[in-house]
Amino acid sequence: MAGERVVEALNRGLHDLLGRDPGTLLLGEDVLDPYGGAFRATKGLSTRFPDQVLSTPISENGIVGVANGLALAGHRVLVEVMFGDFLLLAFDQIVNFAAKSVSMYGRRVPLRTVVRCPVGGGRGYGPTHSQNPQKHLIGVPHLALAEMSAFHDPRHVLADLLDRGDPAVFFEDKILYTQPARGEGRIDQLWAAELPAGPLGPAVLTMGRPESTDCLIICPGGVADRAMRAGAELLLRHELETQIIVPSRLWPFDAKPVLDAAGRAAVVCVVEDGPAGGGWGAAVAHELHTALWGQLSRPVVTVAAEPEVIPAAPHLEETVRVGPAKIVTAVWEATR
């Protein structure tokens, strides 16, 4: 992905998926050229694959319902929901049909539907176009959740999700679209990246020797840049070395790749983009507590957004979203 923006890597991945299998379809609102989707992720697809890209009416529940029917008929289906806020309009088709269809017919029935949706703030879109609804889907049997990052190739992530045969939701933080995709090795003078061995494995960002890490931050791809800025501030202000782990697959969460790092760190901090309360951060903290009870020197710290709707005004939006300062404060308070 080196030299590409993340949205360009995503677009290339979609081209590859549709090109390698004529039975792969993409559905969504305004996904056809010349518009190519609200964030241009589907640019060029309908021109190259006119029979595989279908523009739909404005009905998220209807779009996902059609996708589920096509998946039951043997197709691999990618759905674009224009904004993650609208994902909840398709909650019935995702939770009550797609996830249950895998196992409720007396035998396993693969259902290869992946719902893509832009999430998160930072763009001034206000309360109805800026939230991250991940917490509402945590723990649904046979439903996989993954998030785009600058360190994971979207082509491999989406292909893996489709190949597994369980329905999935793929969250795409809007801020990432214009950021550069990251390669292996040095990011800047402070950070270096170790890319994942597999499509859904974690990327590891280090600023020094992993064995000397004071703080381990676990966060999804959309928060990674903010976590890196927090890590730099922790080093400069408090002389704390930080390691960051960025998983692609959020749920079911695989704790095994992070246990060694979490067991060594003085502080483990899990950061999520949505508000606290039954969310991803609490679920990950629980798994780490269960696996490392007796090794952790203190409880796992969780950082989440404020329990408010997201304002449109940029200066107010920043008071609600998770920012580097909030991560720094949480980590520093945990060390005292």
With tokens 């082509």, the residue in question is 155
Sheet holding 168-173, edge to edge: 53-55, 24-28, 76-80, 113-119, 168-173, 144-147, 249-251
Beta strands in the chain (DSSP E): 24-28, 53-55, 76-80, 113-119, 144-147, 168-173, 185-186, 192-194, 203-206, 215-218, 242-246, 249-251, 267-275, 301-305
CA distance 158 to 148: 10
- Dihedral sign from CA coordinates of 225, 133, 146, 44: negative
Q: Which helix (H) or strand (E) holds 99?
A: helix 99-101
Q: Tell me the pairing of strands 267-275 and 215-218.
A: parallel
Q: Tell me the pairing of strands 192-194 and 185-186.
A: antiparallel
Q: What is the CATH number of the domain that holds 257?
A: 3.40.50.920
pLDDT at residue 1, rounded to an integer: 64
Same-domain status, 156 and 257: no
pLDDT at residue 210, rounded to an integer: 64
Same-domain status, 190 and 144: no
Neighbours of 47 (CB within 10 A): 12
Domain total in the chain: 2
pLDDT at residue 67, rounded to an integer: 98
DSSP label of 5: B
pLDDT at residue 199, rounded to an integer: 86
Same-domain status, 66 and 173: yes
CA distance 248 to 225: 15
Same-domain status, 30 and 168: yes
> Would you give per-residue pLDDT tens digits along the chain (336 residues)?
667 999 999 999 999 999 999 999 999 999 999 999 999 999 999 999 999 999 999 999 999 999 999 999 999 999 999 999 999 999 999 999 999 999 999 999 999 999 999 999 999 999 999 999 999 999 999 999 999 999 999 999 999 999 999 999 999 999 999 999 998 888 999 999 999 888 889 999 998 776 668 999 999 999 999 999 999 999 999 999 999 999 999 999 999 999 999 999 999 999 999 999 999 999 999 999 999 999 998 999 999 999 999 999 999 999 999 999 999 999 999 998
The structure's pTM equals 0.96
Same-domain status, 14 and 161: yes
Burial call 225-250: b when 16+ CB within 10 Å, e when fewer: bbbbebbbbbbeeeebbbbbbbbbbb
Same-domain status, 287 and 316: yes
State the distance between the two ends of the chain, measured CA to CA, in whole angstroms. Answer: 41
Say if 1 falls within a structural domain: no
Same-domain status, 197 and 127: no
The residue range of the domain holding 227 is: 185-335
Q: Tell me the pairing of strands 168-173 and 203-206.
A: unpaired
> Collapsing DSSP states into helix, strand and coil, what is residue 235?
helix
Q: Tell me the pairing of strands 24-28 and 76-80.
A: parallel
> Collapsing DSSP states into helix, strand and coil, what is residue 126?
coil
> Collapsing DSSP states into helix, strand and coil, what is residue 32?
coil
Q: What is the CATH number of the domain that holds 78?
A: 3.40.50.970
